[in-house]
Structure 1
Amino acid sequence: MRLGFLFSRGEVPLARDASARFLPWLIAFMVYLAGLALLAAVAMDAVAARWQGDLVGRLTVQVPPPGDPRDSEARQERLDRVVQALLATPAVSEVEVLSRAQTAALLEPWLGEAAAAPELPAPDLVAVTLRSSGADLGDLPQRLAEVVPGTGVDDHQRWLARLFSLAGSIEALAFLVVALVSVAAVATVIFVTRTGLAIHRQVIELLHVMGARDLYVAEQFQGHALRLGLAGGVGGAVAAALTAVGVRWLLRGEQSVLLPGIELGVWQWLLLAVLPLTTGLVAMLTARWTVLRTLAKLP
């Protein structure tokens, strides 16, 4: 395929059509939606991977405080009994007792400064790492409840599976949006190309009389579509990038276990940067196919 059509204005005055003004804006809007959907999909994939790395194969044990939450000796004695029971469990590989400061930091988003009050009857937390994600805990919850009545075991696997399902649904929805936007973009280019063929039919017939082949006419339209697709794609991709940066700025400092810091790596930004080129190529190929197919049907 020759590349001269990229820079040549051609004999068909397509630049004067209304599509030359409106098509880039339509493509920019579609690329903007597709870019946001792609960024949402890769961001959710990264968050799901972080959830899996941080929570899979782990438990949280909640040890209730004694009657007097300020009795540090009684609290420590209860914690020691729970830790000994955990270490005696074959499925457990590591046990870490969270300090009062760490527990207060976890409760601070809900309780504010009151989370650090010594009289607060907050349970002591023990982070447990299992030897494998599917380790059999047996009667561990019952044994811990016998050691210290009221001790609870929070198995993350149950609600983590629901979070993975939610993340997968969001990713599927994002790719569905990309697919629908792609179909809409192709349909728009087909409509605009056919409109241009109808508007410039006399010029095309004159070119045929002068010996021009259908391929030459198609090159006029595909070059025009490529330029408009690139222009709209760049605008949409830049807008999507600015939106992503703005959302990340708004969410700064709002990190938690459920919503870890959303970071976009180099390859995610490269994916966004490739969108304009992809859009231009799709527009070019669609215009080329539409012209050749339409002209082939003419007498």
Structure 2
Amino acid sequence: MAGRADRKAAAAARHRLLPGGRLAGPMPWIIAIMMFLTVLAAAAALGLGAAVRSMSADLAGRASVQVVEADPQARAALSARTLTALRRADGVRSADAVDPAVLADQLRPWLGDAATSGDLPVPALIDVMLTPGDAPAKLDGLRRLLSGLSPKLRIEPHAAFLLPLAGLMTALGWLSAAVVLLMILATGAVVILAARGAHDSHRSTIDVLHLMGSTDVQIARLFQRRIGLDAMMGSALGFSFAAFVILLIGLRLSATGSDLIAAVSLDTPGWLILAVLPIFGAVLAMLTARWTVLRALGRAL
């Protein structure tokens, strides 16, 4: 009878440490908010990184040749000679003249009707695709080739135009990664405060468990389980809302019609990394709670 009473008392004490209701206290909601922000920051870092890699791969081997000649007939003749020389040059995969009508449509937002009237001497453009390999050395060779043909030829690598943008996107990606790290540290701090508060508010219950023969490890496991459940529910809730927001933003980016903006996207490995974050958050919360409670119990002795 005495043993049964002791077990009932221990069970009642454990129930006081592990209340049945979930999402009732602030802990799960705080974890949900922090996981929501963590997943969004991680998605930004992964998406920006993918965009920079895609941009670098697409533009590393591309360049544009400008034929700066005011006379239309001389410009057309020089463009034809340049196109023939480029197609025969080493390191050039393809060379294609840009349609003047397409170029005029792209210049119309800035020049208006003057882009198609013929009043302005718009340079002719040749799109050049290099073979894989040492792009800077091949561009230097093409510069020497073009300078020998005419001083009115200029070559510009596409990567040079977007280099500042790539640097900005890289910096924003690292900033997002730093935000993820700060959110992880903040989550650990919140769990420490919650574990300390739970320990201080349940000291009488802990004393009863000690009298029933429970060890510090067993008591810490109870706190670990309680905070772990809160962290799992909060992490799942935060991840769900974050995934919905990411999908919504992805649809909006795709609707812009810009290849550069659409490149800021998540592939399958990126989604897998995001899916690991809630699991990592729950494990971090449980280990932090265990360490905090064990340390508090050790000091109390």
TM-score interval, smaller chain: 0.7 to 0.9
Identity %: 32
Name 2:232's counterpart in structure 1: 230
Corresponding residue for 1:3?
none
Name the counterpart of 1:182.
Answer: 184
Q: Is the 8 A contact 1:12 1:204 kept in 2?
A: no
Which residue of the partner structure matches residue 46 of structure 2?
42
Whichever residue aligns with residue 182 of structure 1, its letter is: I
Equivalent pairs counted in the alignment come to 287
User: Does structure 1 retain, via aligned residues, the 8 Å contact 2:94–2:130?
Assistant: yes
Question: Residues 2-58 of structure 1: CA distance to partner in whole angstroms, max 9, x if unpaired?
Answer: xxxxxx993334549999521112111211111111111111121112112211022
**Matches of 2:121 and 2:255 in 1, distance apart?**
28
- Are the counterparts in 2 of residues 63 and 151 from structure 1 also a CA contact under 8 Å? yes
Task: Report the Cα distance in structure 2 between the residues aligned to 1:63 and 1:183, rounded to whole angstroms.
Answer: 56
**8 Å CA contact 1:36, 1:244 repeated in 2:** yes
Distance (whole Å) between structure 2 residues aligned to residue 260 and residue 63 of structure 1: 31
- 1:50-61 correspondence runs (5 A): 50-61=54-65
Q: Which residue of 1 aligns with 2:82?
A: 82
TM-score (norm 1): 0.82
Mapped contact 1:64–1:123 kept (Cα < 8 A): yes
Alignment-mate amino acid for residue 286 of structure 2 = M
Give the counterpart letter for 2:276 in structure 1: V
Q: Structure 2: how far apart are the matches of 1:18 and 1:258?
A: 44
1:8-157 equivalent positions in 2, closer than 5 A: 10-15=14-19, 21-64=25-68, 66-67=70-71, 75-104=75-104, 106-107=106-107, 110-111=109-110, 114=113, 117=116, 119=118, 121-131=121-131, 132=133, 133-138=135-140, 140-141=142-143, 144=146, 147=149, 150-157=152-159
Classify 1:115/1:58 alpha carbon distance in 2 versus 1 (closer, same or farther; 3 Å): farther
1:221 pairs with 2:223: yes
Q: How has the CA–CA distance of structure 1 residues 290 and 19 changed in structure 2, closer, same or farther, with 3 Å as cutoff?
A: farther
Distance change (3 Å), C-alpha of 1:270 and 1:142: closer
Alignment check: 8 A CA contact 2:196 2:292 kept: yes
Q: Is the 8 A contact 1:218 1:292 kept in 2?
A: yes
Q: Greater helix percent: which structure?
A: 2
Gaps of 5+ in 1: 1-7
Q: Distance in 2 between matches of 1:134 and 1:74?
A: 30
Equivalents in 2 of 1:296, 1:20: separation in Å?
Answer: 30
In the alignment, the residues of structure 2 paired with residue 282 and residue 138 of structure 1 have an alpha-carbon distance, to the nearest angstrom, of 53
Aligned equivalents of 1:251, 1:107: Cα separation in 2: 24
**Residue 170 of structure 2 corresponds to which residue in structure 1?**
168
The 1:52/1:12 distance shift into structure 2, 3 A limit, reads: same
Maintained 8 Å contact 2:17/2:223: no
Tell me the alpha carbon deviations over residues 43-97 of structure 1, each in whole angstroms, 9 at most, x when there is no partner. 11211121122110221112236435xxxx6553232022133235434332122
Q: Tell me, in whole angstroms, the C-alpha distance in 2 between the residues paired with 1:78 and 1:158.
A: 25
**Alpha-carbon RMSD:** 3.1
1:234 partner amino acid: A
In structure 1, distance between residues paired with 2:79 and 2:13: 80
- Structure 1 residue 228: Cα displacement: 0.9
Structure 1 residue 172, shift from structure 2 partner: 1.7
> Whole-Å Cα distance in 2 between the matches of residues 169 and 9 of structure 1?
52
